[in-house]
Amino acid sequence: MSDVVTPVLKRHLLSIDDLTREQAILILDTADELARISDAPIKKLPTLRGRTVVNLFYEDSTRTRISFEAAAKRLSADVINFSAKGSSVSKGESLKDTALTLQAMGADAVILRHSASGAAHRLAEWTKGSVINAGDGTHEHPTQALLDAFTIRKHLNKNPEQNGGVGADLTGVNVAIVGDILHSRVARSNVLLLSRLGAKVTLVAPPTLLPVGVSDWPVSISYDFNNAIGECDVVMMLRLQLERMKSAFFPSAREYSRLFGLDMERLAKGKKSPLILHPGPINRGLEISAECADSADSLILEQVTNGVSIRMAVLYLLLGGADA
């Protein structure tokens, strides 16, 4: 049969490092096709009927959980939400025991959100099903990066003959990722994915919020947002956690906002009226002004919509075939 996927994905999606360029494009293309179905009046496909998907969330993240849940349900998978709060987990059950329990329940995939970097890697060692990393500490959040890449590709290929960029990568696209790179799993996954897809990535942050080992990343570094925004096609703003202030990463929210926040004035310095992305939830007035968040170039809500398509694609490509 000619319709067997050639770049078969690994069993787990733990890091963008698990994906080749071709596999990443396959996910984006699959999401593109699934997005059309999501637009149809009947939003349910029988594809994953009989599969069980567990949302195992050790951190509150309603939007990511709902996005995965919607994706799984549209593919007719059974979804079990397992929130760490108020469960046996909060009574001291180890991640390993939880993993073994979920396996005994017959979970085909576990979607894990956890505050510890590498938690998804650990879980993958203890469970037979697929593990999808839905954010692990300050490490990675691969599906967020995929939906960001998907959103960017779609918008930069809007003409009908470009067909939403199906099959294409992001060669030549300039992306600035701005803010707390050090603690951002979104940034790590995006740096890997966007550069793998050919985009040129610039990190914009105060030196305190860049990791010491950043020199090894395939990016340029800028401490000057005004300068960096000039050639950008896309500006990706990261959420700033205010508690970082206590550890002396920056002097005050006001100073941070002035130097690294996005407002209309700064946006106007961009020569290409850049697209605005933000993984949410946003701090209006801190890393991004309300005007920018609501502007025509802002794709923040579209990211949410695209998130469901990307997660459907990942679930389909991991679970839609024979058991590994």
Partner 1 sequence: MTQRIESSGYLLSSVLSPEQELIDIRISNGVIAEIASAGSLTPGASVTIESAGMQLLPGLVDLHTHLREPGREDAETIRTGSAAAALGGFTAVHAMANTDPVADTAGVVEQVVRLGREAGYCDVYAVGAVTQGLEGLALAELGAMAHSMAQVRVFSDDGKCVSDSLVMRRALEYVKQFDGVIAQHAQDPRLTEMAQMNEGIISAKLGLTGWPAVAEEAIIARDVLLAEHVGARLHICHVSTSGSVEIIRWAKARGINVTAEVTPHHLLLTDSLAETYNPIYKVNPPLRTNEDVLALRTALADGTIDIVATDHAPHPRESKECEWSEAANGMLGLENALSVIQESMIENGLSNWKTIAERMSYAPARIGRVDASSGHGQIIKVGVPANVILIDTKIRRKVSEMKSASKSSNNPYIDRTLPGQVLYTFLRGEMIVANGELVRPL
Partner 2 sequence: MKAVLSSADISRAITRISHEIIEKNRGSEDIVLLGIPTRGIHLAERIGSEIGVIVGQSIPVGTLDITLHRDDLRSKPPRALTPTKIPSGGIDGKRIVLVDDVLYSGRTIRAALDALGEIGRPALVQLAVLVDRGHRELPIRADYVGKNLPTSHEEIVKVSIHEVDGEDQVQIAGSHE
Q: Which of residues 139-158 bind partner 1 (CB under 8 A)?
A: 139-140
Are the CB atoms for 73 and 48 separated by under 8 Å? no
Are the CB atoms for 192 and 231 separated by under 8 Å? no
Binders of partner 1: how many residues, by CB under 8 A?
A: 26
Taking CB under 8 A as the criterion, the residue among 122, 154, 200, 311 binding partner 1 is 122
Which C-beta is closer to partner 1: that of 35 or that of 181? 181
Strand, helix or coil for residue 183: coil
Which C-beta is closer to partner 1: that of 48 or that of 119? 119
Q: What is the DSSP string of 34-53?
A: HHHHHHSS----STTTT-EE
Residue 47 CA to residue 74 CA, distance in Å, equals: 9
Site residues, partner 2 (CB under 8 A):
1-6, 8-9, 26, 29-30, 33-34, 36-37, 40, 42, 45-47, 75, 166, 316-323
Which C-beta is closer to partner 1: that of 211 or that of 280? 211
Which C-beta is closer to partner 2: that of 24 or that of 228? 24
Q: Does 118 bind partner 1 (CB under 8 A)?
A: yes
Taking CB under 8 A as the criterion, the residue among 121, 155, 244, 269 binding partner 1 is 121
Least separation in angstroms between CB 153 and partner 2? 15
Look at residues 209, 213, 204 and name the one whose alpha carbon lies nearest to residue 237: 204
- Around Cβ 220, how many Cβ atoms within 10 Å? 13
What x-and-dash track marks residues 173-192 binding partner 1 by CB under 8 A?
Answer: ------------x--x----
92: left (phi over 0), alpha (psi -120 to 50) or beta: left
Taking CB under 8 A as the criterion, the residue among 44, 96, 128, 272 binding partner 1 is 96
Residue 236 CA to residue 44 CA, distance in Å, equals: 32
Q: Does 280 bind partner 1 (CB under 8 A)?
A: no
Which C-beta is closer to partner 1: that of 32 or that of 180? 180
Look at residues 177, 178, 151, 175 and name the one whose alpha carbon lies nearest to residue 164: 151
